[in-house]
Structure 1
Amino acid sequence: MTTTTTDTAPQAIATRENRIPEQAARAMATAGGALTVVSCFLAWTWTSAFPGDLTVYGYPGGLQWLVLVGGALTTLFGLSSYGIKGLRWLTPAGADAAIKLSALAALYTTLYTVKAISTALGGLVNLEPGGFIVLIASVIAYLGARSLPFERPELDEADPEDSWWDRYKLGYRNRWAVTKAAHASGTPKPARALPASVEILIIAAVLAVGLGVFTYGVTTPYQELFIGFLITAGFGFAALQKAGLVARFTALTAKHRNVALVGAFVAAAAFPLTQTDDQYATLGVNILIFATVALGLNIVVGLTGLLDLGYVAFLGVGAYTAALVSGSPNSPFGVHLPFWAAIILGAAASMVFGVLIGAPTLRLRGDYLAIVTLGFGEIFRISMNNLDGVSGPDLTNGPNGVAGVPNVNLFGFDFGANHVFLGFTIGRFANYFLLMLLVTLIVIMVFRRSAESRIGRAWVAIREDETAAEAMGINGFRVKLIAFALGATLAGLAGAVQAHVNYTVTPDQYVFANAVPPNSAFLLAAVVLGGMGTISGPLVGGALLFMIPNKLQFLGEYQLLVFGIALVVLMRLRPEGLIPNRRNQLELHKDLEAPAVLSKAGA
């Protein structure tokens, strides 16, 4: 039976007494956020020696922009909580949690900026009045946000003797009690349905903002700005999610899935046009390669549930194959095939290796399969290292690798030369970024069509319970072998492009774990961090896990330690990943309400 709480007289009196502090807390948070925004237009230090030049009045610079974003979100969410017309759509899932997280974004970024100024310039004496004002304003906003009342209702406990139907009803009542409590403070209702054209415009606007955020993160010129970007982006995304905006955008993209896919492709294709420095274009193409390989691994790990610790070897197979047949002077074959033939051979070679490795090993499960795949990855690296004409046949030039891989020339278009398009000069790495983007689109289409097919449903069944799936007539070995071969093929496609981008393919690029991705450990972490079984999850996770180590190289030998601690904390707070599959999210969070029909595996 459910134990409900009645509105007794003392509780009613307490509610009336708490109404004034609640309004004061809401006003503190909103006013603190607004004052934080204003303080970003003041000087925070007296000298331009600190990166970003925070000495200017009337115009933000450097880390001030990030604090401004946190303060603006706090202000907007605070105003939305009052039910102001035109802003109510900002918080369809409630404002209080969003206010707290956005206030934390402003406070932590401010604290980090003040500490960085103090460390770089030698003490708090180097702060101008604007630096103290923003510190006080962000603290006021956080204290007000933290004082917003939310009392979790008393929930019922399940009886071990209850039937599954009684447990389901009990869980539904508990979830409904939590939802009522979260919306008890007069938060706005969900917005009305919009015309299809307006929804498409919203998708386009969000994708444009996403492109801007990604470009800003990639092009951060100094470490202080990148760390501030991580703080603001992390808490800001969490605030948008708690407000319900991420769920609303996800629903729009599901409704207009083809439009969202084309829009995402166009937004990504616009990235090279925003770059004038090959340094950031190089980082962009490598991020795309890593994210694409992570999406291929998602078929094996996310959909099928097979723990593959040697997946980076398939990337190496594709890269070595393409390098050996593309006219490299170090190749013993002496052939120069066109790129389209080299990429097909690279994918085919990876598929063959996937079948050869998977056929004798996929009858294993769990930890045993993980150990075997880990061994395959090390065997591949050692074999490539020994095929130098001394320890073995002269095939891969040993530790020196296959160097001198020529630029791609596809249908007369030289990817190694600069090209002018609509007044924009597109350099070598920008050309390869667009080429890799086309490969990514192919991988996305393959993943999507496979996940929604009969074989995709069989993969999910194997992942959930292999014994039950086989009892229902699914050939578990054949289904897993198809997943293994398809994942290897997609990695081979990316590897063929990687060989031409980097000019050289060496064995040390394909290890299990080191501080520089791509490697098997980072690929697996990208799938889990982004969200297993989804399309956008591994792409986002791969982008983050490639960009962060490249930007945090100043940490030196402590880089992996800090990175590992961050992953542990994130997995503790959000085990389903940044962009979770709905099924996995329901399994990891029992307090969520299950929809009548779960989304498809690849949604």
Structure 2
Amino acid sequence: MTTQTTAPETPSAPAADTARTGLVPMPEHIGRALATGGGVLTLAATFLAWTWTSDFPGDLTVYGYPGGLQVLVLIGAALTILLALSSYGVKGLRWLTPAGADGAIKLAALGTAGTALYAVIAISAKLGGVVNLEPGGYLVAAGSLVALTGALALPFERPEPDPIDPDDSGWEHFKHKAARLRAIVKANFATGTPRPVGTLPSYAEILIIVGVLALGLTVFTYGIGTEYDELFIGFLILAGFSFAALNKSGLIAHASQITSRHQSITTFGAFLAAAVFPFTQSDDQYATLGVYILIFATVALGLNIVVGLAGLLDLGYVAFLGVGAYAASLVSGSPNSPFHVHFPFWAALLVGAAASLVFGVLIGAPTLRLRGDYLAIVTLGFGEIFRITANNLDGTSGPDLTNGSNGVSSIPNLKILGFDFGLPHDIAGFTIGRFANYFLLMLLITAVVVLVFRRSGDSRIGRAWVAIREDETAAQAMGINGFRVKLIAFAVGACLAGLAGTVQAHVTYTVTPEQYLFASSTPPNSAFLLAAVVLGGMGTIAGPLIGASLLFLIPNKLQFLGDYQLLAFGLALVLLMRFRPEGLIPNRRRQLEFHDEADAPAVLSKTGA
């Protein structure tokens, strides 16, 4: 007796076949070969001279030794080649593309071509035409375009949802999904290991975290230390597309899952890497930017409690930074202070934090019963009232307290346990200057703010903040006192801003009302602080820190654009919000809000596959 077996019927998916087409009408295997070959050609061109004269910054006249923009193109070409080889299934490179290689290859090739073509155009424009290009310049342009053409021929793929039998009811489909979930859990327990299937040992994951932090420190140090404008623009192009490529490949999501399993180690390692930054600098030129970035980032993290956790739109938050700075400057021995006292640093720090907390309560008590746009208008008014009041307390329009528009000046440097922050010091053979000293102090303040944010976010009050943010009416119906919870968020956020303001007063020597506008061409101001929270990732720790770093660094480096600086900066923000609306470092809830059902599995996959 014979039995005949038939394969189970599977729903046809003609859409999947038609989706495997690229922008360039070319067979897939040829496009993949062109992307790989073009990347190799581009990489080889970086070892050739791009111009005959050293008048262009970076000295691109040397053979066999890439420099300046050549280094950036070399990195982009190497990334394109590695991703292309991973798409071939080369052993040892499959881990680069856990979510697929085709989309990542497109973005890497686009970033490489953009950087290479920008370099060629910049050389031609600065030196007076394409005649100033050497063979390497023509070769890098041709090679990058070949790689980009091949990458654009690769298919576009989107994750398909699980097939559903149209004859099944909703309950049957639910039971099918539940059975699959039970099978996965059973398989995990059957392995006899405490970690999920497919994950690495703890020591390997810790090594990966160390590598990620080292890479982040290298990228940040390189970006902040770019010596000329053309190099920074090339860095922005390559860094932006490389981040997008690695995110598209699923590698960043995979690394995020590893860091989330070792949060304490990641946090400690991140602060240790940041503490190493001053030792990588030969002078205070870039340590100055570093300390201002930390001040801006710390205040943004405090605002993240108000906006990201509690969902309160505060447009005058920079005023709390000003309150802390003014309060600390008035008791720190400034000759312009009417009090003529000189508190030690710890006392001045407490005064600045307490003053901001008191103002947070005084402003929040009558206004936090408002919601939405009304609350935003009131907080915006508070920010302007603070600035105008500080201008008028000059002894003429009001009491002589803040010295009016001249501000409180000549604030002395800090001295803690005999350590003068205004003098250079030798540590382990490295000379640490004034701004490097304040950088390390501000890093300690940032660590305290991170600890407060993390503990409060995981606490009962933190969960109440999230409940108020999601639906205040429903939260109140469940017994949460909405006004008290919002007032605590306002007070905690203001207190953290006051801590940063205390250090800012000593770093800048002078505190003036013009430093605390709602919007200006340079941070910190309320508009930039809110943008740092939203663009970095609301409700997260790393998001506002990274967002604030970018929003402070980019305008500072784009000053050569003059009147077009804000235009270029605004265009970059629009593009970022278009392609990354949930922020650079989002939490899972916001990823679900901004991605449809088809995208969600790729974005939220725990395995990165």
Normalising by structure 2, we get a TM-score of 0.90
CA distance in 2, matches of 1:225, 1:348: 44
CA distance in 2, matches of 1:463, 1:274: 42
Which residue of 455, 458, 463 maps to 1:449?
A: 455
Q: Of 63, 66, 71, which residue of structure 1 is paired with 2:77?
A: 71
Partner residue of 2:37?
31
> Which of 365, 369, 385 pairs up with 1:363?
369
Match of 1:328 in 2: 334
Aligned match of 1:272: 278
2:380 aligned partner: 374
After TM superposition, the runs of 4+ consecutive aligned structure 1 residues lying more than 4 A away are 151-158, 162-172
Query: How far does residue 152 in structure 1 lie from its aligned partner after superposition?
Result: 4.9
Aligned residue identity for 1:123: G
SS in 1 for 2:341: coil
- Matching residue within 143, 147, 172 for 1:137: 143
Greater Cα shift, 190-199 or 496-505: 190-199
Give the Cα separation in 2 of the matches to 1:149 and 1:171.
30
Match of 1:385 among 367, 387, 391: 391
CA pair 151-87 structure 1, distance change in 2 beyond 3 A: closer
Percent identity, aligned pairs only?
72
Shift of 1:256: 1.0
- Cα deviation for residue 53 of structure 1 reads 0.6
Q: 2:494 aligns with which of 460, 463, 488?
A: 488
Partner of 1:246: 252
Alpha-carbon distance in 1 for matches of 2:326, 2:605: 42
Q: Which residue of 1 aligns with 2:321?
A: 315
Preserved CA contact (<8 Å) 1:300 1:307: yes
1:587 aligns with 2:585: no
Partners of 1:31 and 1:598 lie apart in 2 by: 32
Secondary structure, counterpart of 1:270 in structure 2: helix
| Counterpart among 90, 95, 99 of residue 93 in structure 1 | 99
> Shift of the alpha carbon at 1:11?
6.5
Q: 1:460 aligned to 460, 466, 469, which one?
A: 466
Asked if the contact 1:156–1:170 (Cα under 8 Å) also holds between the matched residues in 2, the reply is no
Aligned to 2:415: 409
Matches within 5 A, 1:156-555: 192-555=198-561
Q: 1:565 aligns with which of 551, 561, 571?
A: 571
CA distance 1:137–1:496, shift in 2 (3 Å):
same
Q: CA-to-partner distance for each residue in 1:372-406, whole Å, 9 max, x for gaps? A: 00000000001111111111110011011000111
Matched residues in 2 for 1:497 and 1:132: separation?
51
Q: Deviations over 1:112-157 (max 9, x none)?
A: 1111111100111111000010001101111111101235588899
- Give me the whole-angstrom Cα distance separating, in 1, the residues matched to 2:49 and 2:433: 38
Cα pair 2:45 2:139 within 8 Å, conserved: yes
Give 3-state SS (helix, strand or coil) of 2:490's partner.
helix
Question: Per-residue displacement from partner, 1:451-484 (whole Å, max 9, x unpaired)?
Answer: 0111111111111111111111111100100000
- Which residue in the other structure is 2:187 paired with? none
Residue 43 (structure 2) pairs with residue 48 (structure 1) = no
Give the superposition deviation at 1:438: 0.2
Structure 1 residue identity aligned to 2:204: V
CA contact (8 A) 1:92 1:191 kept: no
Q: Structure 1 residues 39 and 167, CA, compared in 2 at 3 Å: closer, same or farther?
A: farther
Within 2, Cα distance between the matches of 1:65 and 1:191? 39
Indicate the residue corresponding to 2:111 in structure 1. Answer: 105
- In structure 2, the residue corresponding to 1:83 is in which secondary structure? coil
Q: Please tell me whether the aligned partners of residues 326 and 511 of structure 2 are also in contact (alpha carbons under 8 angstroms).
A: yes
User: Is the 2:394–2:404 Cα contact (8 Å) retained in structure 1?
Assistant: yes
Q: Structure 1 residue 277: deviation in Å?
A: 2.2
Deviation at 1:104, TM superposition (A): 0.7
**Higher mean C-alpha displacement, 45-54 vs 149-158:** 149-158
Q: Distance in 1 between matches of 2:464 and 2:387?
A: 33
Change (3 A) 1:393 1:94: same
How far apart are 1:198 and its partner, in Å?
Answer: 1.5
AA at the equivalent of 2:591: Q
Q: Is the 8 A contact 1:110 1:134 kept in 2?
A: yes
- Report if aligned partners of 1:314, 1:488 keep a CA contact under 8 Å in 2: yes
Whether the aligned pair in 1 keeps the contact of 2:25 and 2:153 (CA below 8 Å) is no
Aligned-pair CA distance for 1:281: 0.7
Find out whether 1:556 has 2:562 as its counterpart: yes
Structure-2 change in CA distance of 1:50 and 1:167 (3 Å): farther
Matched, 1:125 2:131: yes
Distance 1:360 1:403, change over 3 A: same
Q: 23-32 or 475-484, which moves further after superposition? A: 23-32
Contact persistence 1:582–1:598 (CA under 8 A): no
Contact 2:591 2:600 in 1 (8 A): no
- Go from structure 1 to structure 2 and tell me whether the alpha carbon gap of 1:352 and 1:7 turns closer, same or farther (over 3 Å shift): closer
CA deviation after TM superposition for structure 1 residue 191, in Å = 9.7
CA distance in 1, matches of 2:26, 2:605: 42
CA offsets 1:12-41 (integer angstroms, 9 cap, x no match): 9x99xx999212111111111122111111
Instruction: Decide whether aligned partners of structure 1 residues 170 and 20 sit closer, same or farther in structure 2, where only a CA change above 3 A counts.
Output: farther
Distance 1:598 1:444, change over 3 A: farther
Q: Displacement of 1:165 after TM fit?
A: 7.9
In the alignment, structure 1 segments of 5+ residues that lack a partner are 173-189
Shift in alpha-carbon separation, 1:195–1:357, aligned structure 2, 3 A: same
In 2: Cα distance, 1:517 partner to 1:367 partner: 24
C-alpha contact 2:364 2:490 (8 A) present in aligned 1: yes
Change (3 A) 1:480 1:121: same
Q: Is the 8 A contact 1:211 1:267 kept in 2?
A: yes
Cα distance, 1:294 vs. partner? 0.5
| Partner in structure 2 of residue 182 of structure 1 | none
In the alignment, the residues of structure 2 paired with residue 198 and residue 327 of structure 1 have an alpha-carbon distance, to the nearest angstrom, of 52
RMSD: 2.8
- Asked if structure 2 preserves the Cα contact closer than 8 Å seen for 1:217 and 1:229, the reply is yes
The SS at the match of 1:420 is: strand
Amino acid at match of 1:47: T
Question: 2:398 is aligned with what amino acid?
Answer: G
What letter matches 1:302 in structure 2?
G
How far the C-alpha of 1:593 sits from its partner, in A, is: 3.6
Paired residue type of 1:134: V
1:88-128 Cα shifts (integer Å, max 9, x gaps): 11111111111111101101011111111111001111110
Q: CA deviation at 1:193?
A: 2.5
Question: Given that residues 105 and 245 in structure 2 are in contact (C-alpha distance below 8 angstroms), is that contact kept between their aligned partners in structure 1?
Answer: yes
Instruction: Indicate if the aligned counterparts of 1:458 and 1:474 stay in contact, CA closer than 8 A.
Output: yes
2:399 is aligned with what amino acid?
P
Q: CA deviation at 1:7?
A: 6.5
User: Is the contact made by 1:324 and 1:402 (CA closer than 8 Å) also made in structure 2?
Assistant: yes
Determine the C-alpha separation between the residues in 1 that align with 2:461 and 2:358. Answer: 20
- How far apart, CA to CA, are the structure 2 residues paired with 1:587 and 1:454? 24
Q: Distance in 2 between matches of 1:480 and 1:219?
A: 41
CA displacement at 1:195 relative to structure 2: 1.9
Inter-partner Cα distance in structure 2 for 1:519 and 1:109: 32
Change in Cα spacing, 1:167 to 1:310, as seen in structure 2 (3 Å) is farther
Letter in 2 for 1:101: L
Count of matched residue pairs: 572
Distance 1:11 1:332 in 2: 77
Deviations 1:271-293, CA, capped at 9 Å, x for gaps? 00011121211011001110111
Q: Distance in 1 between matches of 2:281 and 2:462?
A: 39
CA distance in structure 1 between the partners assigned to 2:492 and 2:133 by the alignment: 57
